[in-house]
Amino acid sequence: MEIFVPALLMGLAGSFHCAGMCGPIMLALSSGNSFYSGWKGRALYHFGRLSVYMLLGMLAGMAGEALDIGGFQRQTAIIAGVFMIVMVVIIYFLPVSGNTWISSYSSWVKGVFASLIRSKSKSTLFFMGATNGLLPCGMVYLAMVGSVASGSIKNSMIYMLVFGAGTLPMLLGISLLGSKGLKTARIGNKIAPYLVFALGILMIYRGWHIEPASCCSR
């Protein structure tokens, strides 16, 4: 179970980042979709989002298992930790100009979301959540990197599910508290990179203490 603690902490830390990116969506849904204001609507929306995270975890787990077959789980965990540290520095501290294909993809996803939000159908809330899960997000990608070192496809999917669960309190708080919750989240976003940096160190430490695979163990 300890392998999922970083996922939960990353979700909680990443939820401050999510607030800036997804907070306005939560406010728009709360004001424009009466069904979403109920718990059933919120459950459908976030179920769709977490389902996509688990799908991404499955893909990451497939890559992780391929590396583990070669006896590289220890190296994978260390590399994942280093990559998390590098990425959090790039995302939070370095001014990076917008990438054309990322911007185009993001615009396409937002266009799909906008078409769904105009619908009054209850079932579309699931697909709206799934679409939200497809938005380009550095924190989601960092969680996927962490899930690669979880050891199996199943664990990787659970890792991403736990990560997504960690983002729920913040996003649900914004939908309930409105702009006050969004302002609080933006303040908390200032500490998020340092928490993720610490998780990268934890990942490296964990990988360093994984017993090297024996050539005859399989």
Helix axes 153-177, 39-69, angle to 10 degrees: 150
Judge if pTM exceeds 0.85.
Answer: no
Task: Give me the mean pLDDT over the 200-217 stretch.
Answer: 67
Task: Give me the mean pLDDT over the 10-39 stretch.
Answer: 74
pLDDT digit string (tens) for 40-55?
Answer: 888 888 999 999 999 9
**Which range has the top average pLDDT, 13-27, 36-50, 77-91?**
36-50
Q: What is the pLDDT of residue 215?
A: 44
Alpha-carbon separation of residue 179 from 26, 82, 215 (angstroms): 10, 36, 57
Evaluate whether 41 touches 122 at the Cβ level (below 8 Å): yes
pLDDT-derived band of residue 1, with 50, 70 and 90 as boundaries?
A: low
Q: What is the pLDDT of residue 87?
A: 78
Give the tokens for residue 199: 């998780």
Alpha-carbon separation of residue 7 from 143, 152, 164, 212 (angstroms): 7, 15, 8, 23
> Sign of torsion, CA 199 209 144 1?
negative
Cα dihedral angle (106, 112, 113, 119), rounded to 10 degrees?
A: 170
CB atoms within 10 A of CB 163: 31
Q: What is the pLDDT of residue 152?
A: 86
Residue predicted with more confidence, 163 or 136:
163
Q: What is the pLDDT of residue 158?
A: 96
Q: SS3 for 215?
A: coil
User: Which position has the token pair 């190296």?
Assistant: 75
